[in-house]
Structure 1
C-alpha cells in the first residue's frame, strides 16, 4: 500500500494561509490573524502533515521548554482531509518524536476531541471539561 502522506517539522513547507483560514474560524482561534499565526508558528515546535505533492493536510504546534513541559495547540486537519485518519497519524507521530517523548508533562485543551487524545494516554485533569494531560513526572 502506497503511503499517501508525509510528516515534517520543516516550517518552510507550512501553508500558513490555509492554516490561518482554518484556525480563524475555529472555536479556539476565532479571528486569529495571519500575522498572529505566523508569530505562533515562529515561536513553537511545529509539525505538518502533507500529501506526497506537498499539499497541507494538517498541522500542530507544541509550545515547550524542550525539557519538562509541552502544550499541544492548534492541532488541525483541513476540512477536505477530515475523517480519513490523518488526525490519529499526526498525534501519534508527535508523541513518537524524540523531543516530545522526553518531556515530563504534556497538556492540551479540547472541547470535542477527548476520545482522540484518550487513546494516546491523555487523561482529563480534575473536573475540567477541557484540560487533558499526560504526566510522566514522579513527584516525591
Structure 2
C-alpha cells in the first residue's frame, strides 16, 4: 500500500494520507481545513501548478471565465461531479481571465475546457459544457481502473 499526496486547496500544504485512511475525512496538517469538501476550489497560478505537479490524486481542471454563459451553465454540473468523484479525483477551477499566462501555457482556445491531469501530465482534454453525469463518465473513461 502506498500513501497518497494531496495538496490542500486552502493553504497549498502537501499532505501524505495513508491509503487505508479515508481521504474524505482527512484534514490538512498545515491549516486544519478538510482536504476534500465536495466542491471544486477556484485556484490561481501557484496553487494550480502545485495541485497538478505535487498531487498523486488525478486533478480535473475546469478552465472558465465569469462572462462565459456556457461556463456559468456548467458550474452546477461541475459542482455535482465533484461530490461524486472526490476523493479519487481533485476538481479545481481556473479563471482564464484572472490567470491568462496559465491559460496561454495550457493552449486554451475556447471555454469551458476541462483538462484531466495525472502524475503531473495531461491525460485528456475536452471543450464545451457537459452535464454532471457526462463529466463523471468522461473522467472515468480516461483513468485506469
Q: TM bucket by the smaller chain?
A: under 0.3
> Which one scores higher on RCO, CA 8 angstroms, separation ≥ 6?
2
